[in-house]
A and B are shown apart, each in its own frame.
Chain A
């Protein structure tokens, strides 16, 4: 009887723990199992703003066509705790981007982290703690 009670409690906890916890912003739109690595990404725009900061950059695909990407990260308040500033990333910078792409397959996603030309790594406040 006790074992059954424990099992049923664990089952209930397990079920309820799948309910999204109250958070600032969910990431259900993104493939968060694995980040896509995008090398030689040329930054075109960096918006340091609320509700979320985002980055726009161009990357050539395997056929040599330029693809315009956009990736969001946390708010300035959250990112500044991780070393970001309004001027960390600037148009023209060539960087490496690790990004969780949208499930739609479009070139948009949530950043895991970026690597600046000098090797500095900047992580996202929500998903940057994840392994790539």
Chain B
């Protein structure tokens, strides 16, 4: 009997992970019903071929992504990290959460790369590259001129922390851009699950342009104050946007508050435990 348990669990786990993967980008389909939701631009692009080789040291342009990326390892919290994590109550649709998203506070970094990832863009700048995020029209300057990251951010005499921190980058080979970031304001969360970070968090993004149409991202986090070891936070895949048509996605504070008062509270969303 016991020898069947592991295969059974493995089969179940494989099926469930498949379900989860499908659920991320497609609506649930009930038996006997016709699915009418059209595919997103990103889903349509999935069938596109590579479009030729990747140009060298160039990611310029708009890229389409999925609504959410794929989470990596479960972060291993320190006791201090655990105490912070427990205080964070995620849910942008709840009047009683303390999710910064609830009132459209800045995502900060790396949440801007781990939440609402439908659009991304790169543009060359003097001394660096600017990385832009469609949701909330965020831009981050990545210095490529060899300067170092600031030290002692958030201490007396040091640089001030910032919503999106300080970023430097370099090319690893012809097609991988590596970006290092620190000095992020610690009131932000690393993702929609509510995981915390300190000002000293060090985030590494690796963008690899596999070919003309495909870009892959991994985000790893090292923050000894909050986590017992560095971990892979998310991976994501982007497609070069056809005709470079981007979307406008803004979380507007007055509208979000209006939504909470008009919909979420009267509908009793908190009462049914939407967390």
A→B interface (CB under 8 Å): 1-2, 4-5, 8-9, 12-13, 16-17, 21-26, 28-30, 47, 49-52, 54, 56, 70, 72, 75-77, 80-82, 102-104, 106, 108-109, 123, 125-126, 128-131
Rank and list the top 5 A-B pairs by shortest CB-CB distance, nearest first: A49-B255, A21-B23, A5-B4, A102-B267, A104-B268
Residues from chain B with a CB closer than 8 A to the CB of A76 are 248-249
Are A50's CB and B33's CB within 8 A? no
Chain B residue with the shortest CB-CB distance to A80: B247
Interface SS, B side = loop
* B30, CB-defined interface residue at 8 Å: yes
Known A70-B263, A76-B249: A81·B37 in contact at CB below 8 Å: yes
Contact of A29 among B37, B249, B269 (CB under 8 A): B269
Are B256's CB and A50's CB within 8 A? yes
Known A72-B259, A76-B249, A82-B37: A28·B274 in contact at CB below 8 Å: yes
Cα distance, A103 to B92, chains bound together (Å): 20
Known A16-B16, A30-B267: A51·B274 in contact at CB below 8 Å: no
26 A–B contacts from the bound complex (CB under 8 Å): A1-B4, A5-B4, A9-B8, A9-B11, A23-B23, A29-B271, A29-B272, A47-B255, A49-B259, A52-B93, A54-B263, A70-B262, A72-B259, A72-B267, A82-B36, A82-B37, A104-B268, A108-B262, A108-B267, A123-B36, A123-B37, A125-B27, A128-B36, A129-B27, A129-B33, A130-B30
* B86, CB-defined interface residue at 8 Å: no
Residues from chain A with a CB closer than 8 A to the CB of B15 are 13
Cα distance, A22 to B28, chains bound together (Å): 11
B→A interface (CB under 8 Å): 1, 4, 7-9, 11-12, 15-16, 19-20, 23-24, 27-30, 32-40, 67-68, 92-93, 101, 104, 118, 247-252, 255-256, 258-259, 262-263, 266-269, 271-274
Chain B residue with the shortest CB-CB distance to A81: B38
Contact of B263 among A1, A2, A72, A126 (CB under 8 A): A72
